[in-house]
Amino acid sequence: MAVNFLGVYGHVILDYIANLEALPAPNTSVQILDRQRFFGGTGGNIARVAARLGVRTALASFVGEDFPPEYREALEADGVDLTDLRVVAGVSTPTAWIFTDRRGNQIAIVDQGPMKSIVKYQLLKHSIESAEVVHLATGRPEYYLKIAALAAKLGKRVAFDPSQEIHYVYTATTFRRLLARSQMFFGNEVEMRRALGFLRRKRPADLLEWVDVVVMTRGGKGSTILSKEGKIDVPAISSRKVVDVTGAGDAYRAGFYAGLSRGFDLFRCGLTRAAVAGFVIEKRGTQTNIPTWTQAVARASRHASF
Protein backbone atom coordinates (compact mmCIF):
# COMPACT_ATOMS: atom_id res chain seq x y z
CA MET A 1 0.00 0.00 0.00
CA ALA A 2 1.25 3.50 -0.86
CA VAL A 3 2.38 5.59 2.09
CA ASN A 4 2.83 8.74 -0.04
CA PHE A 5 0.40 10.34 -2.44
CA LEU A 6 3.09 11.93 -4.62
CA GLY A 7 6.55 10.89 -5.81
CA VAL A 8 8.46 13.78 -7.44
CA TYR A 9 11.42 13.29 -9.78
CA GLY A 10 13.34 16.42 -10.78
CA HIS A 11 16.21 18.76 -10.03
CA VAL A 12 17.20 20.01 -6.59
CA ILE A 13 19.11 23.21 -7.32
CA LEU A 14 20.85 26.07 -5.57
CA ASP A 15 19.76 29.34 -7.22
CA TYR A 16 22.10 32.32 -7.07
CA ILE A 17 20.12 35.38 -8.18
CA ALA A 18 22.00 38.62 -8.88
CA ASN A 19 20.80 42.05 -9.96
CA LEU A 20 22.86 44.15 -12.35
CA GLU A 21 22.56 47.65 -13.76
CA ALA A 22 22.90 46.13 -17.23
CA LEU A 23 23.91 42.76 -18.63
CA PRO A 24 27.57 42.75 -19.71
CA ALA A 25 28.65 42.78 -23.32
CA PRO A 26 31.12 40.06 -24.38
CA ASN A 27 34.64 40.57 -23.00
CA THR A 28 33.51 43.14 -20.41
CA SER A 29 32.62 43.05 -16.73
CA VAL A 30 29.95 44.71 -14.60
CA GLN A 31 29.30 45.20 -10.91
CA ILE A 32 26.71 43.13 -9.04
CA LEU A 33 24.19 45.34 -7.23
CA ASP A 34 23.01 42.59 -4.89
CA ARG A 35 22.83 38.81 -4.79
CA GLN A 36 21.13 36.08 -2.80
CA ARG A 37 21.13 32.29 -2.63
CA PHE A 38 17.85 30.41 -2.68
CA PHE A 39 16.77 26.79 -2.54
CA GLY A 40 15.20 25.73 -5.84
CA GLY A 41 14.88 23.18 -8.64
CA THR A 42 11.70 21.73 -10.11
CA GLY A 43 11.89 18.64 -7.90
CA GLY A 44 12.77 20.52 -4.74
CA ASN A 45 10.13 23.20 -5.33
CA ILE A 46 7.23 20.89 -6.12
CA ALA A 47 8.05 18.45 -3.32
CA ARG A 48 8.52 21.06 -0.60
CA VAL A 49 5.46 23.15 -1.51
CA ALA A 50 3.26 20.06 -1.84
CA ALA A 51 4.43 18.72 1.52
CA ARG A 52 3.81 22.09 3.21
CA LEU A 53 0.25 21.87 1.84
CA GLY A 54 -0.26 18.52 3.52
CA VAL A 55 0.48 16.19 0.59
CA ARG A 56 2.46 13.09 1.58
CA THR A 57 5.40 13.54 -0.80
CA ALA A 58 8.63 11.71 -1.68
CA LEU A 59 11.47 13.41 -3.57
CA ALA A 60 13.86 11.60 -5.92
CA SER A 61 16.96 13.42 -7.13
CA PHE A 62 20.76 13.42 -7.16
CA VAL A 63 22.88 16.13 -5.52
CA GLY A 64 26.57 16.67 -4.87
CA GLU A 65 28.74 16.42 -1.77
CA ASP A 66 28.30 20.16 -1.21
CA PHE A 67 24.53 19.90 -0.78
CA PRO A 68 23.73 22.32 2.06
CA PRO A 69 22.50 20.60 5.24
CA GLU A 70 20.08 23.50 5.75
CA TYR A 71 18.31 22.64 2.47
CA ARG A 72 17.91 19.03 3.58
CA GLU A 73 16.66 20.23 6.98
CA ALA A 74 14.09 22.52 5.33
CA LEU A 75 12.72 19.66 3.23
CA GLU A 76 12.58 17.35 6.24
CA ALA A 77 10.89 20.01 8.36
CA ASP A 78 8.04 20.20 5.85
CA GLY A 79 7.69 16.41 5.86
CA VAL A 80 9.27 15.46 2.52
CA ASP A 81 10.31 11.80 2.31
CA LEU A 82 14.01 12.00 1.34
CA THR A 83 14.72 8.28 0.96
CA ASP A 84 15.56 8.86 -2.72
CA LEU A 85 17.55 12.08 -2.35
CA ARG A 86 21.02 10.71 -3.11
CA VAL A 87 24.43 12.35 -2.71
CA VAL A 88 26.93 11.59 -5.48
CA ALA A 89 30.61 11.72 -4.54
CA GLY A 90 32.99 13.89 -6.52
CA VAL A 91 30.44 16.25 -8.09
CA SER A 92 28.74 19.52 -7.20
CA THR A 93 25.06 20.03 -6.48
CA PRO A 94 23.12 21.38 -9.49
CA THR A 95 23.46 25.17 -9.43
CA ALA A 96 21.95 28.05 -11.41
CA TRP A 97 23.37 31.57 -11.61
CA ILE A 98 20.66 33.99 -12.74
CA PHE A 99 21.52 37.58 -13.68
CA THR A 100 18.81 40.23 -14.17
CA ASP A 101 19.25 43.86 -15.26
CA ARG A 102 17.16 46.94 -14.48
CA ARG A 103 14.97 46.41 -17.55
CA GLY A 104 14.14 42.83 -16.66
CA ASN A 105 16.49 41.20 -19.18
CA GLN A 106 17.90 37.96 -17.85
CA ILE A 107 20.55 35.36 -18.53
CA ALA A 108 21.09 32.11 -16.67
CA ILE A 109 24.04 29.74 -16.41
CA VAL A 110 23.27 26.26 -15.17
CA ASP A 111 25.54 23.51 -13.86
CA GLN A 112 23.52 20.27 -14.04
CA GLY A 113 25.83 18.49 -11.62
CA PRO A 114 25.01 14.77 -11.30
CA MET A 115 21.65 15.23 -13.05
CA LYS A 116 23.49 15.53 -16.37
CA SER A 117 24.70 11.93 -16.01
CA ILE A 118 21.61 10.54 -14.28
CA VAL A 119 21.31 7.63 -16.72
CA LYS A 120 24.40 5.97 -15.23
CA TYR A 121 23.02 6.01 -11.67
CA GLN A 122 20.77 3.50 -9.97
CA LEU A 123 17.03 3.60 -10.48
CA LEU A 124 15.41 5.36 -7.53
CA LYS A 125 12.43 3.11 -6.86
CA HIS A 126 11.11 4.15 -3.46
CA SER A 127 9.40 7.27 -4.82
CA ILE A 128 7.50 5.07 -7.28
CA GLU A 129 6.70 2.17 -4.99
CA SER A 130 5.55 4.37 -2.09
CA ALA A 131 3.41 6.81 -4.10
CA GLU A 132 0.08 6.88 -5.90
CA VAL A 133 1.12 9.51 -8.46
CA VAL A 134 4.62 9.80 -9.97
CA HIS A 135 5.50 13.28 -11.25
CA LEU A 136 8.32 13.44 -13.83
CA ALA A 137 9.73 16.96 -13.97
CA THR A 138 13.09 18.04 -15.42
CA GLY A 139 15.66 15.29 -16.00
CA ARG A 140 16.95 12.94 -18.67
CA PRO A 141 14.25 11.22 -20.75
CA GLU A 142 16.24 7.98 -20.98
CA TYR A 143 16.18 7.67 -17.19
CA TYR A 144 12.54 8.69 -16.93
CA LEU A 145 11.47 6.08 -19.46
CA LYS A 146 12.73 3.46 -17.00
CA ILE A 147 10.89 5.19 -14.15
CA ALA A 148 7.68 5.35 -16.19
CA ALA A 149 7.96 1.68 -17.18
CA LEU A 150 8.25 0.60 -13.54
CA ALA A 151 5.41 2.93 -12.56
CA ALA A 152 3.19 1.36 -15.23
CA LYS A 153 4.10 -2.12 -14.06
CA LEU A 154 3.09 -1.18 -10.51
CA GLY A 155 -0.13 0.49 -11.62
CA LYS A 156 0.89 4.04 -10.66
CA ARG A 157 -0.39 7.19 -12.34
CA VAL A 158 2.33 9.17 -14.14
CA ALA A 159 2.35 12.93 -14.71
CA PHE A 160 4.73 14.10 -17.45
CA ASP A 161 6.08 17.63 -16.94
CA PRO A 162 9.25 18.28 -18.99
CA SER A 163 9.06 22.04 -18.34
CA GLN A 164 11.64 24.16 -20.19
CA GLU A 165 13.68 21.06 -21.05
CA ILE A 166 11.11 20.14 -23.70
CA HIS A 167 12.92 22.64 -25.94
CA TYR A 168 16.46 21.24 -25.74
CA VAL A 169 16.50 17.83 -24.04
CA TYR A 170 13.63 16.02 -25.75
CA THR A 171 13.24 14.75 -29.29
CA ALA A 172 9.93 13.89 -30.89
CA THR A 173 10.69 10.22 -30.26
CA THR A 174 11.55 10.48 -26.55
CA PHE A 175 8.65 12.84 -25.97
CA ARG A 176 6.14 10.50 -27.61
CA ARG A 177 7.46 7.49 -25.70
CA LEU A 178 7.12 9.19 -22.31
CA LEU A 179 3.73 10.67 -23.14
CA ALA A 180 2.47 7.20 -24.05
CA ARG A 181 3.39 6.05 -20.50
CA SER A 182 1.61 8.97 -18.82
CA GLN A 183 -1.88 9.80 -17.61
CA MET A 184 -1.35 13.56 -17.10
CA PHE A 185 0.62 16.23 -18.94
CA PHE A 186 1.66 19.65 -17.61
CA GLY A 187 3.04 22.62 -19.57
CA ASN A 188 2.75 26.34 -20.20
CA GLU A 189 1.54 27.80 -23.49
CA VAL A 190 4.99 27.82 -25.12
CA GLU A 191 5.77 24.28 -23.97
CA MET A 192 2.37 23.15 -25.22
CA ARG A 193 3.16 24.41 -28.71
CA ARG A 194 6.41 22.46 -28.66
CA ALA A 195 4.56 19.32 -27.50
CA LEU A 196 2.00 19.68 -30.29
CA GLY A 197 4.83 20.08 -32.79
CA PHE A 198 6.34 16.78 -31.65
CA LEU A 199 2.95 15.11 -32.07
CA ARG A 200 2.03 16.87 -35.32
CA ARG A 201 -1.19 18.07 -33.75
CA LYS A 202 -2.76 21.53 -33.55
CA ARG A 203 -4.85 21.80 -30.36
CA PRO A 204 -3.95 21.12 -26.71
CA ALA A 205 -7.07 18.93 -26.54
CA ASP A 206 -5.41 16.63 -29.08
CA LEU A 207 -3.08 15.42 -26.30
CA LEU A 208 -6.09 13.62 -24.83
CA GLU A 209 -5.41 10.93 -27.44
CA TRP A 210 -2.52 9.95 -25.14
CA VAL A 211 -3.36 11.16 -21.61
CA ASP A 212 -6.44 11.61 -19.43
CA VAL A 213 -5.72 15.13 -18.18
CA VAL A 214 -3.86 18.07 -19.74
CA VAL A 215 -2.99 21.06 -17.56
CA MET A 216 -1.83 24.23 -19.32
CA THR A 217 -0.68 27.25 -17.30
CA ARG A 218 -1.26 30.65 -18.90
CA GLY A 219 0.54 33.07 -16.61
CA GLY A 220 -1.61 36.01 -15.56
CA LYS A 221 -4.50 34.61 -17.59
CA GLY A 222 -4.90 31.62 -15.28
CA SER A 223 -4.85 28.04 -16.51
CA THR A 224 -6.80 25.58 -18.62
CA ILE A 225 -7.50 21.97 -17.67
CA LEU A 226 -8.58 19.52 -20.36
CA SER A 227 -10.04 16.06 -19.82
CA LYS A 228 -12.48 13.68 -21.43
CA GLU A 229 -15.24 15.62 -19.61
CA GLY A 230 -14.32 18.84 -21.43
CA LYS A 231 -12.42 22.09 -20.97
CA ILE A 232 -12.14 24.00 -17.68
CA ASP A 233 -10.80 27.55 -17.59
CA VAL A 234 -9.45 28.46 -14.16
CA PRO A 235 -8.97 32.16 -13.36
CA ALA A 236 -5.77 33.59 -11.97
CA ILE A 237 -6.01 34.60 -8.32
CA SER A 238 -4.54 38.02 -7.72
CA SER A 239 -1.54 38.46 -5.44
CA ARG A 240 -0.94 41.30 -3.04
CA LYS A 241 2.12 42.15 -5.13
CA VAL A 242 4.27 40.48 -7.77
CA VAL A 243 7.97 40.40 -6.90
CA ASP A 244 9.39 37.32 -8.64
CA VAL A 245 7.46 34.90 -10.87
CA THR A 246 10.25 32.31 -10.78
CA GLY A 247 8.83 29.07 -9.42
CA ALA A 248 5.18 29.97 -10.05
CA GLY A 249 4.76 26.96 -12.34
CA ASP A 250 6.14 24.57 -9.73
CA ALA A 251 3.83 26.09 -7.11
CA TYR A 252 0.90 25.60 -9.51
CA ARG A 253 1.68 21.91 -9.73
CA ALA A 254 2.03 21.49 -5.96
CA GLY A 255 -1.28 23.25 -5.40
CA PHE A 256 -2.96 21.03 -7.99
CA TYR A 257 -1.78 17.91 -6.14
CA ALA A 258 -2.92 19.38 -2.83
CA GLY A 259 -6.43 19.46 -4.25
CA LEU A 260 -6.18 16.13 -6.06
CA SER A 261 -4.96 14.31 -2.96
CA ARG A 262 -8.05 15.56 -1.12
CA GLY A 263 -10.43 14.30 -3.80
CA PHE A 264 -11.32 17.70 -5.27
CA ASP A 265 -12.74 18.06 -8.78
CA LEU A 266 -10.45 19.47 -11.46
CA PHE A 267 -11.81 23.02 -11.20
CA ARG A 268 -11.07 23.20 -7.46
CA CYS A 269 -7.68 21.59 -8.02
CA GLY A 270 -7.01 24.41 -10.46
CA LEU A 271 -8.12 27.06 -7.99
CA THR A 272 -5.92 25.76 -5.19
CA ARG A 273 -2.94 25.68 -7.52
CA ALA A 274 -3.63 29.28 -8.59
CA ALA A 275 -3.87 30.39 -4.97
CA VAL A 276 -0.58 28.72 -4.03
CA ALA A 277 1.26 30.26 -6.98
CA GLY A 278 -0.11 33.65 -5.97
CA PHE A 279 1.68 33.40 -2.63
CA VAL A 280 5.00 32.23 -4.07
CA ILE A 281 5.38 35.17 -6.47
CA GLU A 282 4.98 37.72 -3.68
CA LYS A 283 8.59 37.23 -2.55
CA ARG A 284 11.91 36.64 -4.21
CA GLY A 285 12.91 32.98 -4.38
CA THR A 286 10.85 29.89 -5.15
CA GLN A 287 10.51 28.59 -1.57
CA THR A 288 10.48 31.75 0.54
CA ASN A 289 6.71 32.36 0.73
CA ILE A 290 5.03 28.96 0.76
CA PRO A 291 1.48 29.14 2.14
CA THR A 292 -0.20 26.66 4.43
CA TRP A 293 -3.22 24.74 3.20
CA THR A 294 -5.50 26.98 5.26
CA GLN A 295 -4.04 30.12 3.67
CA ALA A 296 -4.34 28.70 0.15
CA VAL A 297 -7.97 27.67 0.65
CA ALA A 298 -8.83 31.10 2.07
CA ARG A 299 -7.72 32.73 -1.19
CA ALA A 300 -9.23 30.08 -3.45
CA SER A 301 -12.57 30.40 -1.63
CA ARG A 302 -13.13 33.74 -3.34
CA HIS A 303 -14.05 31.75 -6.47
CA ALA A 304 -15.67 28.55 -5.11
CA SER A 305 -16.74 26.90 -1.88
CA PHE A 306 -14.44 24.31 -0.28
Which positions are annotated as active-site residues? Answer: 250
User: Please, are residues 143 and 60 in contact by the beta-carbon 8 Å criterion?
Assistant: no
Distance CA 165, CA 146 (A): 18
User: Please, are residues 57 and 82 in contact by the beta-carbon 8 Å criterion?
Assistant: no
